[in-house]
A and B are shown apart, each in its own frame.
Chain A
Amino acid sequence: MNFYERMMNLDRRWIYLVIGLVVVITAIFPFDVPLYVTPEVRSIYDYIESLNPGDVLMIGVDYAPEVMAELHPMTYAISRQCFKKDVKLLLCCLHQNGPGMVEQVISQVSKEYNKINGVDYVYLGYKPYPGITILAMGQNFRIPFPEDYYGTPLDSLPMMRGLTNFDNVKAIINISGGSGTELWINFANGRYNAKLAIGVTGVMTSDYYPFLQSGQIFGLIGGMKGASEYEYLAEKDGYISRAKNQLSAYKTMPIQTTSHLVVILFIVLGNIGFFMSKKKKSRI
């Protein structure tokens, strides 16, 4: 077996070791990474900036722990920005393993800003069949959610007075790690003309540019990079603080940089090995 064939037959655990070492070393020795803020992220940030105290923003948090690395930072940054501006939040979760994620965010962020459940925010909770739930919320939030996540009747919550359906919220930000985003676009925006923006994982980002161009969504936060861009904007205006360790997406960017370089190197090396061993075989 020549060198290139040995290169091609390398045990995959060596590759795991290399990527593991790169990630760990970068984590121990981080560095600042310059960020370019994309228009699709800025449009969401600027929209929330334009809201007034007392306005209600709905956040549909539809993800589970497996994608929280990319989506939790977005939820935290948007929640902090809204609470600092005294914008009220209406949250719901349509992913079966996600309700605890929302509880984690809202209980922490509401304490930071002394916000009161039922007055400054309402967490509706979880219901199955996300498409049906979105359609029902478009008619009246009380159809799918007669009570909030904690079991309190919606009608007894001061914030819910005057809040009937999507017409009474300024916009909906859907932060999703799965097919929930399509349902929000199709049903909330498609049927009820709700103003909608989305935050999705890196894997899903490229799929939603058609909806951005058509105007069905007014903004798109794509993956960890999008979350870092949002945190960058929020930090600049004092909504989140590096000193309080609130830049959870941005601090992983150095690891992203070095890992991406290694993956590109792997692609190049793999192709060199492939073509060289093919060339040698054809000579024989």
Chain B
Amino acid sequence: MGTEEIIWNGVAAFLVLCIYTFLYKDTPLYKFAEHLVVGVSAGYFAVILYYNGFVPKLITPLKQGQWVYIIPAILGMMMWTRFSKKWSWLSRFSLAFYIGSGTGFAIPLYMQNYVLRQFSSSMLPMGFSSWALFCNILIIIGVLSALVYFFFSKEHTGIFGGTAKIGIWTLMIGFGAGFGLTVMGRISLLAERVVFLREYLLELKYYLYLLFKYGLPL
């Protein structure tokens, strides 16, 4: 690493340690880093939105004479009236446009992909002659019983209740799997940060060794 990288990574390492002070208690160092990231992320997003959103989708088309883009621009600006008690009703038009388009295509797509396709993929060949066929039986029982469990309009008693019980067992195994993977996910985030600190300290050690040995910054 060169001098500039060592300094920038040093800043990053300092901020990492500021955040970790929270494990002891809510320290001023943690609050400083927390508020800094809030401001930096807001500024970052505003710049990205300008260069990737407004410039190509509004400013450039208007410069090229595509005046029809004034209409979505006006609808967009009407969104900003949400902060005014007197004029907030204008924002309903922009909201209506977005919600209308969103809900319209949601109906066929969610039905097709989340309901029909999932049901059709559950129509599996069953049998006891191979492990795969036996697993298919377990899958079908699992899906149907879990769906029965989620049906709360009927009391879970008798055969219905028994099926719902198999459903909740299936769901618990699924949630357990999710929890196990969540632990891995959370530990990953910590592991990466510790590896970053380790690698930075090793680079810093080497940099300082070269600096003291040869007396020149890299």
Contacts and interface: CB of A to CB of B under 8 A. Distances in A.
Interface of A: 13, 16, 19-20, 23-24, 27-28, 66-70, 96-97, 99-100, 125-129, 131-132, 135, 144-147, 149, 151, 185-187, 189-191, 201-203, 205-207, 210, 213-216, 222-225, 248, 251-252, 255-256, 259-260, 263
B194 A205 contact: no
Contact of A202 (B53, B110, B188, B193): B188
B109 A260 contact: no
Nearest to A190: B113
Contacts of A149: 52
A128 B195 CA distance: 33
Nearest to B114: A186
A16 B23 contact: yes
Contact of B194 (A24, A96, A190): A24
A185 B194 contact: no
A24 B45 CA distance: 34
Contacts of B110: 186
Contact of A191 (B44, B109, B120, B121): B109
Interface in B48-105: 48-49, 51-53, 55-57, 60-61, 98, 101-102, 105
B24 interface: yes
Contact of A206 (B57, B121, B178, B183): B178
Contacts of A28: 198
B191 A96 contact: no
A146 B177 contact: no
B151 to A, nearest CB: 19
The prevalent SS among residues of B at the interface is: helix
A210 B34 CA distance: 38
A53 B86 CA distance: 60
B181 A222 contact: yes
Contact of A132 (B49, B101, B183): B101
A13 B60 CA distance: 55
Contacts of B60: 146-147
B177 A252 contact: no
19 contacts: A16-B23, A19-B190, A69-B191, A70-B185, A96-B45, A97-B44, A100-B44, A126-B52, A127-B53, A190-B112, A202-B185, A202-B186, A203-B185, A206-B174, A206-B178, A223-B184, A223-B188, A260-B183, A263-B183
B44 A224 contact: no
Contacts of A189: 113
Interface of B: 23-24, 41, 44-45, 48-49, 51-53, 55-57, 60-61, 98, 101-102, 105, 109-110, 112-114, 117-118, 120-121, 139, 174, 177-178, 181-195, 198
Given A97-B45, A145-B56, A203 B198 contact: no
B113 A185 contact: yes
Given A23-B191, A147-B60, A252-B192, A126 B53 contact: yes
A255 B48 contact: no
Contact of A224 (B98, B191, B194): B191
Contacts of A203: 178, 181-182, 185-186
A210 B118 CA distance: 7
A262 to B, nearest CB: 9
Nearest to A187: B109
Contacts of B182: 202-203
Given A28-B198, A146-B57, A67 B189 contact: yes
Closest 9 A/B residue pairs (Cβ): A202-B185, A69-B192, A214-B121, A252-B191, A224-B188, A255-B191, A190-B113, A147-B56, A202-B184
Nearest to B110: A186
A186 B109 contact: yes
Contacts of B195: 27, 248, 251-252, 255
A65 B32 CA distance: 19
A23 B190 contact: yes
Given A125-B51, A202-B188, A203-B186, 5 more contacts: A68-B192, A96-B48, A132-B102, A203-B181, A215-B121
B127 to A, nearest CB: 18
A201 B181 CA distance: 9
B213 to A, nearest CB: 24
